[in-house]
Amino acid sequence: MESLKIALLQHNPKVADVKHNLDKLESMIRKESKKGFDLFVAPELALVGYSPRDLLSQPSLIQAEQDALDSIRRLSEELSVGILLGHTEKREGAGKPLFNSCTLFEKGYALGRIRKRRIPHYDIFMEERFFESARDLPQEPLSFRGFKLGLFICEDGWWEVKKYGKNDLAYPHWTDEIDAQLAKSDVLINISASPYNFSKYERRKEIFSKHALKHSTPLLFSTCVGAQDEILFDGPSFAMNTQGVLEFESKSFEEDVLRVEVSKNKKIRSIDQLPIPLHEDPWDTFHQVLVLGIRDFVRKNSFKKIVLGLSGGIDSALVAYLAKEALGAENVLGVSLPTKFNSAETRSDARKLAENLGIEFREIPIGDLVSSAEKIMNVTPSGLVYENLQSRSRGLLLMTLSAQENRLLLTTGNKSELAMGYSTLYGDMCGALAPIGDLYKTDVFGMCHWIQSHLGSPFPESILTRPPSAELAPDQKDEDSLPEYAILDVILEDIIENQSLNKQALTSFANDVSKLSFDDIVKRLHSMEFKRYQAPPILKVHPRSFGYGWQMPLVKGFNP
Amino acid sequence: MESLKIALLQHNPKVADVKHNLDKLESMIRKESKKGFDLFVAPELALVGYSPRDLLSQPSLIQAEQDALDSIRRLSEELSVGILLGHTEKREGAGKPLFNSCTLFEKGYALGRIRKRRIPHYDIFMEERFFESARDLPQEPLSFRGFKLGLFICEDGWWEVKKYGKNDLAYPHWTDEIDAQLAKSDVLINISASPYNFSKYERRKEIFSKHALKHSTPLLFSTCVGAQDEILFDGPSFAMNTQGVLEFESKSFEEDVLRVEVSKNKKIRSIDQLPIPLHEDPWDTFHQVLVLGIRDFVRKNSFKKIVLGLSGGIDSALVAYLAKEALGAENVLGVSLPTKFNSAETRSDARKLAENLGIEFREIPIGDLVSSAEKIMNVTPSGLVYENLQSRSRGLLLMTLSAQENRLLLTTGNKSELAMGYSTLYGDMCGALAPIGDLYKTDVFGMCHWIQSHLGSPFPESILTRPPSAELAPDQKDEDSLPEYAILDVILEDIIENQSLNKQALTSFANDVSKLSFDDIVKRLHSMEFKRYQAPPILKVHPRSFGYGWQMPLVKGFNP
């Protein structure tokens, strides 16, 4: 053959729901097969989803996947097409029980298989709990209809030495072995389950561009899309030419098929005549991936409706906006739960916001509940105990409402608050999901201003300009007890994302302008671990988020 | 020399508190050095504690440990002794940033070093995030004063093939390499941080007995003691003869020094003339390790006092008893928080229990708070919403009390409840620690009956005999909505600890006697993940506990 028509299937799997995932892939393949494709490519672990985590220890899941693979095999025969997809593979003997593999089916046969070498176990990844590295296995390109396919799985394409705590991916001889295989290929195909972070789109292009360029061979990148717990798969799948230049890509944030024709002389073209993609606005991506995260979390958990507390502040305003985008205004309920400390202005802003968004709004004053607890426990009506009591009264009422109306409760805390423990456990931390729990406060400002200027000014202007306040005491401001967020966030980001790489410079910075020193911030961050241990799942958007990728001890004597 | 006098230092480190741990070891060594010891042995990662988890990415921690190692080196010179201890070791190049190492110091020099090959990353372990395996490094016994020391670190002594999901420890050529080293030695020394589970004492003896016997060489096992988050290090350190017979051991559950003399002809003797240990009563160990876990969690977090809700039921009775043992009766406050559903009998039992234990007792009726919330939210006064409201009202009041009096709140839920979600998030699940969260209900019964008959009958008899009830509705019994615990726990244990190995037999068992089928129980277990995600840390006593070792997805479509 002079060319191969290839369809990359960017599906949105549900973890451990093999039947659902198989049905989805089958129907995509059946629909597309009428268009004369030679080869269908589905992402890493396409049938079990990424990642079943410890469910990989369940023999029934592995068996269901085996059966589904057999359906795929028969489908390749029925439709006379090639189908290539990622799956687990049982193995015997010393070592871990599974490989992370990729098999090519055609005419009812498994034509060939490659296995993942680099098994990630940093950040959110824990593949080493189950997957053995294929480090000692020689791997060759697979032959398919006269083409040599150079296959590699996700992490095997990420070759550079990574930074402290993550440079486990850099066995140079593995890179040589992978290169030896890719060098013999007519087209490179990487199947992935590639999670989002703020700069990941650019990083993926940069990394995979190097592979294409090094081998002067076109490259296809196939990934899944959708959210799984805290992990967001943004897509897109894409195609690069022999120069490593991005030629075209699928849609992001939704299921899509990327249709490609690759010729013997290593040219690629888009069957749909897709244009060369423009560099996207990162704020646009950033807000869309959160919308996807909320939608998938709520719907994959079989809920339709959500509720959240609306304080009149910027955090809950952002979550309300994103939830409306994700689920439709009719499925979002915002509740204001005022005390005497909530100003007329914030109460009115909460109501105006709900009107602007077209979401349902209720006001439930909490004074009576707080008074009742105050009397029972003889609480002094000021100070931290009293502040937490207000927050917990709100949590209790919102959880009651959540159960009464079968609405998932979203929590509205941000990363700066979670880092500093500026939040109440079992109070404002109540909720099934923390959609902006990985956004620093300055990210929240930035995203809201971007939304305000690009997406029809949904926010009452005063929400964007008022100094942040928890309104749990008279005239309280966040910056009474925390450094200004513009300062705090620079320091937090260095501590959390950069292992305090810029500590020296930021220490003098903090000395000059911050009410807490660099080391004080480190100490407070770590002393608040007990709150984060019981926090809801957080949608991950930064290289290092609280949650699966932040495994810190609770009991410790760490002194920076 | 004809013999070596060796002291095994079983210390209780605080994670990431290098100064504290160094001071402790130094003072133990200085005190013992007057007795003419040749060699001091401290456990795995003795200076940073086990385990700093992601704090291992902090350069300041690794630097502090380096400085502490230098103090140890100088101490070996000052006292003219050998000191052998576990520590992290920075490494360069491809791969992970650290080795898990063990160095022998003498006369101000590092005489030699061995490194861990088997890096565990199953269950609660996540060493692969930071530690590179020393798989490619030849290792020889270290020579010390005419003796050859066969050193190996923790997991390198656990050679058998493990079950599904855990058989990563079984690289046979590693076993050969370790054996080659051990075969040349005059004494075998394994340094560990070996966590407790119910059968671990016997397993350790069995495993290490094989090493001693295989090489006809005495074996010393050195471990730390104490609790770190959910992980309990019970000890003891011990010595085995060339037949693999346990000769003597240190105390369990507390710091101790095991003093041993090893002669050139491979005889060992206890310098303190310790007797051959008797087989311990496993219930005794079981309850003592929980006492240790509570004490260390509370004290290492710099608290002195705790509070817990006393329902008059068996779970809170057990936690109260354990807390009293751990912290002293004067530091324990039990609070009864009755509603109209709480019987006179349970209320009186709660009070009697407190009297028996000598702990402080208060009664705080919650009716007014529940009514207040009931009115605000128009809650129907029966059904799940109303039940959760009662539980959350208790949580709110206990958290308020906790903050008012600087007492850590202990939660009293057991493993059967956590498995089935028979608990209220932000209600009875509130707390800093779940001391019996890894005890099945039948474990709770067993332990209470053992305590009752062995430790002075602290429990009012009716607490032990009354059918379990949450008392959130009239005449409610747990077994209205759950299978009998005696049945449920057998099934849960198979699902959680055995990967449903006995599914077939237990399916017919459940069909005969249980109100929920085996698969229904699996489904309910997995559907309740969202509660466990936000649960407090749980003291681990079984091979598989909820917490660090239970990494399950939240969003999933798993169907057994």
**Chain B contact for A392 (CB, 8 A cutoff):** yes
* A283 CA: distance to closest CA in chain B (Å): 27
CA A329 to chain centroid, in Å, comes to 23
From chain A, pick out residues whose CB is under 8 angstroms from the CB of B17: 556-559
Residues 416-445 of A with CB under 8 A from B: 425-426, 430, 432
Considering only CB atoms, A537 lies closest to which of B61, B369, B533, namely B533
Please report which confidence band the pLDDT of residue B171 belongs to, taking 50, 70 and 90 as the band edges.
Answer: low
Alpha-carbon distance A5 to A119, whole Å? 31
Alpha-carbon distance A305 to B160, whole Å? 51
* B99 CA: distance to closest CA in chain A (Å): 12
A19 is catalytic: no
Q: Are A84 and A151 in contact (CB under 8 A)?
A: yes
**Chain A contact for B302 (CB, 8 A cutoff):** no
From chain B, pick out residues whose CB is under 8 angstroms from the CB of A550: 54
The pLDDT score that the predictor gives to residue B160 is 60
Q: Do B165 and A364 touch (CB under 8 A)?
A: no
The pLDDT score that the predictor gives to residue B386 is 97
The pLDDT score that the predictor gives to residue A164 is 39
A415 is catalytic: no
**CA-based nearest residue in chain A for residue B168:** A95
CA dist B524 → A288, B517, B556 (Å): 33, 10, 13
Q: What is the complex's ipTM, to 2 decimals?
A: 0.96
Q: pLDDT, tens digit, for every residue of A442-469? A: 999 999 999 999 999 999 999 999 999 9
Q: Do A500 and B59 touch (CB under 8 A)?
A: yes
The pLDDT score that the predictor gives to residue A262 is 98
Considering only CB atoms, A168 lies closest to which of B51, B60, B96, namely B96
**Chain B contact for A63 (CB, 8 A cutoff):** no
Contacts of B342 (CB under 8 A, 6+ apart): B311, B312, B336, B471
**CA-based nearest residue in chain B for residue A387:** B400
The pLDDT score that the predictor gives to residue B527 is 96
Neighbour tally for B198: CB within 10 Å: 18
Considering only CB atoms, A377 lies closest to which of B60, B61, B404, namely B404
Neighbour tally for A168: CB within 10 Å: 23
The pLDDT score that the predictor gives to residue B376 is 98
Q: Are A140 and A181 in contact (CB under 8 A)?
A: yes
**Chain A contact for B366 (CB, 8 A cutoff):** yes
Please report which confidence band the pLDDT of residue A199 belongs to, taking 50, 70 and 90 as the band edges.
Answer: confident
For chains A and B, what is the number of CB pairs under 8 angstroms? 273
Q: Which amino acid, B163?
A: K
Q: Which is catalytic among the residues A32, A65, A127, A154?
A: A154
DSSP B546-558: SSTT----SS---
The pLDDT score that the predictor gives to residue B198 is 86
- Tokens found for residue A489: 């966030």
The pLDDT score that the predictor gives to residue A121 is 86
**CA-based nearest residue in chain A for residue B389:** A400
The pLDDT score that the predictor gives to residue B166 is 45
Q: In terms of C-beta distances under 8 Å and separation of at least 24 residues, what long-range contacts does B107-112 make, across chains too?
A: B107/B76, B107/B77, B107/B80, B108/B73, B108/B74, B108/B76, B108/B77, B109/B73, B109/B76, B110/B73, B111/B82, B111/B142, B111/B143, B111/B144, B112/B140, B112/B142, B112/B143
The pLDDT score that the predictor gives to residue B165 is 43
The pLDDT score that the predictor gives to residue A558 is 86
Q: pLDDT, tens digit, for every residue of B356-379? A: 999 999 999 999 999 999 999 999
Positive/negative CA dihedral, A420, A426, A429, A432: positive
**Chain B contact for A381 (CB, 8 A cutoff):** no
In the predicted structure, residue B69 carries a pLDDT above the cut 70: yes
From chain A, pick out residues whose CB is under 8 angstroms from the CB of B537: 533, 554
Q: Do A535 and B534 touch (CB under 8 A)?
A: yes
3-state secondary structure at position A142: strand
Please report which confidence band the pLDDT of residue B168 belongs to, taking 50, 70 and 90 as the band edges.
Answer: very low
In the predicted structure, residue B559 carries a pLDDT above the cut 90: no
Given the DSSP bridges, would you call strands B238-240 and B246-249 parallel, antiparallel or unpaired?
A: antiparallel
Q: Are A148 and A142 in contact (CB under 8 A)?
A: yes
Please report which confidence band the pLDDT of residue B172 belongs to, taking 50, 70 and 90 as the band edges.
Answer: low
Please report which confidence band the pLDDT of residue A393 belongs to, taking 50, 70 and 90 as the band edges.
Answer: very high
From chain A, pick out residues whose CB is under 8 angstroms from the CB of B172: 94
CA dist A444 → A227, A287, A313, A317, B528 (Å): 21, 10, 11, 10, 32
In the predicted structure, residue A239 carries a pLDDT above the cut 90: yes
In the predicted structure, residue A547 carries a pLDDT above the cut 80: yes
From chain B, pick out residues whose CB is under 8 angstroms from the CB of A128: 121, 128, 168
**CA-based nearest residue in chain A for residue B526:** A55
* B237 CA: distance to closest CA in chain A (Å): 23
Please report which confidence band the pLDDT of residue B95 belongs to, taking 50, 70 and 90 as the band edges.
Answer: confident
B154 is catalytic: yes
Mean model confidence pLDDT for chain A: 94
Q: What percent of chain B has pLDDT over 70?
A: 97
Q: Do A14 and B397 touch (CB under 8 A)?
A: no
Q: Do A530 and B500 touch (CB under 8 A)?
A: no
From the candidates A336, A376, A502, which should be mutated to test the interface with B, based on the most B CB atoms within 10 A?
A376
- Tokens found for residue A369: 């509940």
When mean pLDDT is compared across A281-295, B72-86, B276-290, the lowest value belongs to B276-290
Residues 126-165 of B with CB under 8 A from A: 126, 128-130, 132, 161, 164-165
Please report which confidence band the pLDDT of residue A471 belongs to, taking 50, 70 and 90 as the band edges.
Answer: very high
DSSP B2-28: -EEEEEEEE----TT-HHHHHHHHHHH
Please report which confidence band the pLDDT of residue A314 belongs to, taking 50, 70 and 90 as the band edges.
Answer: very high
User: Average pLDDT of A88-93?
Assistant: 90
From chain A, pick out residues whose CB is under 8 angstroms from the CB of B51: 553
From chain B, pick out residues whose CB is under 8 angstroms from the CB of A296: 555
Which residue has better confidence, A18 or B501? A18
The pLDDT score that the predictor gives to residue B336 is 98
Please report which confidence band the pLDDT of residue B167 belongs to, taking 50, 70 and 90 as the band edges.
Answer: very low
User: Average pLDDT of A71-96?
Assistant: 94
* B374 CA: distance to closest CA in chain A (Å): 9
The pLDDT score that the predictor gives to residue B175 is 81
Q: In terms of C-beta distances under 8 Å and separation of at least 24 residues, what long-range contacts does B317-320 make, across chains too?
A: B317/B349, B317/B353, B317/B448, B317/B459, B317/B463, B318/B412, B318/B436, B318/B444, B318/B447, B318/B448, B318/B451, B319/B410, B319/B412, B319/B435, B319/B436, B320/B353, B320/B354, B320/B357, B320/B359
The pLDDT score that the predictor gives to residue B507 is 92
Q: Which is catalytic among the residues B5, B24, B116, B205?
A: B116
**pTM of the predicted structure, to 2 decimals:** 0.96
Please report which confidence band the pLDDT of residue A161 belongs to, taking 50, 70 and 90 as the band edges.
Answer: very low
